[in-house]
Amino acid sequence: MNTAPYGSWKSPISSDLIVSSSIRLGAIALDDGKVYWNEGRPTEGGRNVIMGYDDRSYIEITPKDKNVRSQVHEYGGGEYLIEDGRLYFSNFSDRGIYRQVGDNAPQRLTPENNCRYADFAWSRNYGRLICICEDHTYANSEGGEPTNSLVAISTTNGEDIQVLAAGADFYASPRLSPQGDRLAWLSWQHPNMPWDGTELWVGDLLETGSGILTIENPQLVAGGFAESIFQPEWSPDGKLYFVSDRTGWWNLYAVDLNELSNIQPLCNMAAEFGMPQWVFGMSTYGFAGDGKVICSYSQNGKSYLAKLDPQNLDRGLQIIDVPFTSISGLKCQGDHCAFHGGASTEASAIVLLDLTNGTWQKVRVASDLQIDPAYISAAQAIEFPTENGLTAYGLFYAPKNADFQGETHAKPPLLVKSHGGPTAATSSSLSLGIQYWTSRGFAVLDVNYGGSTGYGRAYRDRLKGKWGIVDVDDCANGAKFLVTQGLVDGDRLAISGGSAGGYTTLCALTFRDDFKAGASHYGICDLEALAKDTHKFESRYLDSLIGKYPEEKEIYIQRSPIHFTEKLSCAIAFFQGLEDRVVPPNQAEMMVEALQKKGLPVLYVPFEGEQHGFRKSENIKKALDSEFEFYAQIFQFTPADVLQ
């Protein structure tokens, strides 16, 4: 084994290999015994294509001139539905809904307008597609907000679009009962985000003699301003199931609609069966052919797969043994379920599970890159003390490379990663982006700071009114903890994050002196600008994270790094998409200019054609390599490779 300075190790995990061998695995669907998924391809400019799997062969469903992606809420999700062999999808470039049957070319269903669509349900009874509509007509022409509604679209005449429900600021999860005569859905109002409080409604779906589809007898089932409801679903026998955090944890419930007050908890646990609904179509449970509930849940940062018999709740959850620590996107049909499964040493994959015998297979893997395990650093879940006598969490990755070891008495540099959201969580699935660092001699700490999901509502609510404080404290305290444990070099600490994680990064570098360098990927530096110039979905998000604007404008100023550049004394790199609507590029550019005036080391890498997050392979590669080279200059080590 060679001895070399940490950071200078030669690694087989190059950025070229990462982008050439990696795809994004999106929403899963099951139809008539086949499994389908949305596949994002960085090598095709970030295009998304619906793929199918049948009899051990892959089928590319959508043609190359289509990009299956929704822009509702800007983040999208719920971009397609496949049922009875018919595919309906939202096309990114023109925002229209297309219908595709078999090998025939997709046909546009909806007219050209300023509307976006997502989260589809198919009504056999009425031949209509029920979905969320986000209308930007007046937002575009008069500067107002888009209007969101629940609509029904004729599948024979796409011009026939009827509004089923309107008036709420947001809608999601339209779900039809097995008989097709009842509809359940979620709605919520500003300033709530869906993880703060939503309402679950149900009503009778009826068509009048004139062909108008309406919802009659709408009734509020559960939820409210301070109760978050997630994923309503109908069981085969017509009961309505949902996930609620009314106990402080997202747990499963069922209700008999003949007696709405009789809401039955299915398994009270200090575990999360729900997730923050950043995108449409998220799913953590479904129903097998025998009526049993197949579900995934998170506990102490690890995912589990289980089944539950609604007819025999005394048996409780029965764990299904699968070797995955990260499970999401679960869908069920008949004797099979499919989900995203991953672990810290295994890339995320589409997994198809046979419920009759427990056997499973990986249908599609996010990366086909075969790497010797001797170069892979396994995640170690850690807990560490933070402010006010509390505990925070993270995943620690030690440097690992079969060919190298660090110099005697030296400690590795540490890269602290702050996830986006901020209401989100890091994943324990294999991240080649993290292994890129650890195989070169960096240690990495991926922090689930206060405000992260997966640890109950109280932990999630730690960030309320405290964004830019609690998250920064936890990232800094996580780094200090590793220093005191003798695992990393306290003089070579860096922090990096994207979006909200970029804000945490910039706050840590501006208001604290724990880190010597950092990198902001499309991060926020001006909270006022964000409050004034962001999209509808997040336009009131800061009310809970910071305070009401403009009433509490002073807090926005005090927590915006752009106003305190005089406190900066370290190096920062910025990576920014020039078409980003969530975090406009002018925020990064203002910060870069301020740093340049101070004469501090600064790197600014703008990307044409990129939005919030990078989808093109060449840009993903450049961002990764440029950040590494930046730290090499700051921490004064020589990379083993000349990076392009």
Cα 354 from Cα 335, distance rounded (Å): 6
Interval 338-375: pLDDT, tens:
999 999 888 899 999 999 999 999 999 998 778 899 99
- In eight-state DSSP terms, residue 257 is T
Render 444-459 in DSSP notation, one character per residue.
EEEEE-TT-SSS-HHH
Q: Indicate if 496 and 451 belong to the same structural domain.
A: yes
Question: Among 325, 340, 368, which residue terminates a domain?
Answer: 368
Summary mean pLDDT of the chain: 94
Summarize the confidence of residues 492-503 as an average pLDDT: 96
Whether the Cβ atoms of residue 8 and residue 441 lie closer than 8 Å to each other: yes
| Per-residue pLDDT band at 140 (split at 50, 70, 90) | low
Q: Indicate if 442 and 581 belong to the same structural domain.
A: yes
- Give exposure, 197-216, as e/b (b: 16+ Cβ within 10 Å): bbbbbbbebeeeeeeebebe
Give the per-residue pLDDT at 142. Answer: 59
Inter-axis angle of helices 500-511 and 470-484, to 10 degrees?
A: 70
Interval 576-625: pLDDT, tens:
999 987 778 888 898 899 889 989 999 999 999 998 888 888 999 999 99
Question: Is residue 448, in this structure, part of any structural domain at all?
Answer: yes
Question: Is residue 139, in this structure, part of any structural domain at all?
Answer: no
Cα 420 from Cα 534, distance rounded (Å): 16
Give the per-residue pLDDT at 643. Answer: 47
Q: Indicate if 353 and 382 belong to the same structural domain.
A: no
Question: Is residue 401, in this structure, part of any structural domain at all?
Answer: yes
Strands across the sheet containing 128-135: 115-123, 128-135, 147-154, 161-166
In this structure, the strands spanning 182-188 and 170-176 are antiparallel
Q: Indicate if 305 and 447 belong to the same structural domain.
A: no
Residue 628's closest CA among 611, 605, 606, 610?
Answer: 605
Question: Is residue 510, in this structure, part of any structural domain at all?
Answer: yes
Whether the Cβ atoms of residue 607 and residue 644 lie closer than 8 Å to each other: no
Q: Indicate if 415 and 290 belong to the same structural domain.
A: no
Q: Indicate if 598 and 623 belong to the same structural domain.
A: yes
Report the CATH number at residue 521: 3.40.50.1820
Whether the Cβ atoms of residue 267 and residue 284 lie closer than 8 Å to each other: no
Return the structure tokens found at 40. 């994002």
Residue 444's closest CA among 432, 462, 461?
Answer: 432
Interval 426-484: pLDDT, tens:
988 899 999 999 999 999 999 999 999 999 999 999 999 999 999 999 999 999 999 99
Question: Among 368, 398, 430, which residue terminates a domain?
Answer: 368
Give the per-residue pLDDT at 421. Answer: 92
Question: Is residue 439, in this structure, part of any structural domain at all?
Answer: yes
Q: Indicate if 565 and 493 belong to the same structural domain.
A: yes
Cα 451 from Cα 507, distance rounded (Å): 16
Summarize the confidence of residues 99-124 as an average pLDDT: 95
Return the structure tokens found at 377. 């650093």
Residues 6+ apart with CB under 8 A from 83: 31, 122
Return the structure tokens found at 232. 């309503």
Q: Indicate if 314 and 447 belong to the same structural domain.
A: no
- In eight-state DSSP terms, residue 567 is G
Question: Is residue 309, in this structure, part of any structural domain at all?
Answer: yes
| Per-residue pLDDT band at 122 (split at 50, 70, 90) | very high
β-bridge mates for residue 305, sequence order? 296
Give the per-residue pLDDT at 143. Answer: 65
Question: Is residue 616, in this structure, part of any structural domain at all?
Answer: yes
41 has a pLDDT exceeding 70: yes
Percent of the chain exceeding pLDDT 70 equals 99
Tell me which H or E stretch contains 382. Answer: strand 380-385
Give the per-residue pLDDT at 557. Answer: 97
β-bridge mates for residue 574, sequence order? 520, 604
CA atoms within 13 A on the CB side of 418: 39
Q: Is 529 helix (H, G, I), strand (E, B) or coil?
A: helix
Q: Indicate if 622 and 477 belong to the same structural domain.
A: yes
Q: Indicate if 483 and 593 belong to the same structural domain.
A: yes
Domain of 502? 378-526+561-635
Return the structure tokens found at 139. 């937002």
Residue 304's closest CA among 324, 330, 276, 329?
Answer: 324
Q: Indicate if 493 and 362 belong to the same structural domain.
A: no
Return the structure tokens found at 223. 């939820």
Residue 133's closest CA among 156, 166, 88, 86?
Answer: 166
Using CA atoms, how far residue 297 sits from 244, 292, 301, 461, in Å, is: 13, 16, 10, 20
Question: Is residue 606, in this structure, part of any structural domain at all?
Answer: yes
Q: Indicate if 355 and 386 belong to the same structural domain.
A: no
> Degrees (nearest 5) of the Cα angle 493, 499, 504?
40
Residue 525's closest CA among 466, 577, 592?
Answer: 592
Residues 6+ apart with CB under 8 A from 42: 19, 22, 23, 24, 615, 616, 617, 620
Cα 619 from Cα 46, distance rounded (Å): 10
Summarize the confidence of residues 32-38 as an average pLDDT: 94
Whether the Cβ atoms of residue 558 and residue 552 lie closer than 8 Å to each other: no
Residues 6+ apart with CB under 8 A from 549: 528, 531, 542, 543, 556
Question: Among 348, 368, 388, which residue terminates a domain?
Answer: 368
- In the chain, the number of structural domains is 2
